[in-house]
Structure 1
């Protein structure tokens, strides 16, 4: 959104704040109504995104709570991407399409987790195996610092971008990795921002609290 036009491009009426864009705009509300996960009990907190997210995260204690939170993060991201598609490419998607994209991305992530806790990324990284008997020797990654490396690769033939993410513990040992693919966008900075977003999601899923992420492009900062 340009500085000269702070009005939301979705409704054309309100200022485009974070809360309005993701939670309160009529376009966002249409998407949330189509979503398979609902957060009706915290509607009064939508005026402050941090408070809303903190209240939502309390659901981690309930059955399938982590799944619901994770899916919500994907929906929020697709709302943001939908906004950018309209703003920069003049393309619009109906709520069902936005939810389907969020759902498919979330399912792809879950499938990857089920297949393995580690994966090979590039030619220099080998599959990682962590035996149960070694658990007692590994620092608690929730409190110890984690180093996260990111790699991106564009494929012009398939019009997609691949993300590779590797996490190393405080001793510099690779402990986990992920790879995923998404449709290509014309904006390189958006690709880089998405790779950082994915790294943050992975860190949050693992419960890591102290992370250092290597940003793939200095312009992104």
Structure 2
């Protein structure tokens, strides 16, 4: 159902890493970056649909997963085009170059968490992208315990920071859909005591990062 095809990679389907390595070789080809970016978004939406199926027993039709991936990709491309047009209108090329360099150093970390009360299982997903939208790293974590939503979301943020630290990234943006966790991190002093230890870990880990939470 996906609008992008990867012909010639059938012999790599037994190993996702080999398949992905071969697919990224197309970056230098015409529309190669667009094909890779769209594929990344499809993977991310499949991951989220899988979590809903496993942890919430919620079924999502494949065509809806593809539609969501296309919509996210188009929104990203439109935003990038607007930025490029804005940069074109700037007269100070030196200032533009410095801004480009700063943006190229920023890594966006997207986190998500899911809980299955029925199966007593939790899951965390983390994906890291550079400013072009290209995937840099991804990680999935499954634990066999009864989870609390805010705790799992906080753990996902902590694990995202650990990933950034291990990778040596210093300028990051952490995206999470849990507003309460973001507010507690940004306030620094007011904690939900059920996740206070995790929040303190996050505060310690964020030292050394130029870090924004959204």
Select the structure that is richer in helix: 2
Question: Under a length normalisation based on structure 2, what TM-score does the superposition of the two structures give?
Answer: 0.50
